[in-house]
Amino acid sequence: MNKFEKTNAEFEAALEECRTVFSNKLHDYRASWRILRPQSLTDQLFIKAKRIRQLELTGETLVGEGIRPEFIALVNYGIIGLIQLEKGFADTVDIDTDEAIQLYNTHAHETLELMKRKNHDYDEAWRDMRVSSYTDLVLTKIERIKEIENLGGETLVSEGVDSNLMDIINYSVFALIKLRVEC
């Protein structure tokens, strides 16, 4: 197995872990996230990333959950964001579990394919990065999304919200892979 195949397998395993959490939460809450407007979803990403950064800086948690579940949440909320961009937000839960999983799988696959292309071009540079750098990059992408939302989506040269969400997902999956290796 070459280095790219290894990354692809690790990435898919991490995505499967995230999909399992997503599916379990669908069981418990249904697709309640369908009511989230874009700005609310961005804020949800923000609080998850800020919590990771706080845990990295202090090493203290008062609620007993570590960094790993927050990166899983970033992956799942990132994919939810892509679904919301595609479908728009709703006033009620308007999709069932099967459709939610199908949409999740579609966007997870698109994000995986993007990672493969970028990973080839960057030659596995992510492996030499620190998890804290992924956190900072995620926070940067969230700030970019906020600014794009403030501009009503009207950018001059920048990538759109979808590209930033996919980058958040990819950085978060890389963090999950690194955290598994470091454990």
In tens digits, the chain (183 residues) has pLDDT values of: 899 999 999 999 999 999 999 999 999 999 999 999 999 999 999 999 999 999 999 988 777 788 999 999 999 999 999 999 999 999 999 999 999 999 999 999 999 999 999 999 999 999 999 999 999 999 999 999 999 999 999 999 999 999 999 999 999 999 999 998 665
Distance CA 54, CA 147 (A): 23
Dist CA 100 CA 17 (whole Å): 16
- For position 65, what pLDDT does the model report? 80
For residue 123, the SS3 value is coil
Q: What pLDDT was estimated at residue 156? A: 92
pTM of the entire predicted model: 0.95
Which residues have CB under 8 Å from 119's CB, separation 6+? Answer: 4, 7, 126
Residue in 174, 26, 37, 175 with CA at minimum distance from that of residue 103: 26
pLDDT for the residue 181: 67
pLDDT of the residue at 182: 63
> Of 130, 138, 137, nearest to 47 (Cα)?
138
> Are 15 and 41 in contact, with CB atoms under 8 Å apart?
no
Length of the chain (residues): 183
The distance from CA 57 to its chain's CA centroid, rounded to whole angstroms, is 21
pLDDT at residue 78, rounded to an integer: 98
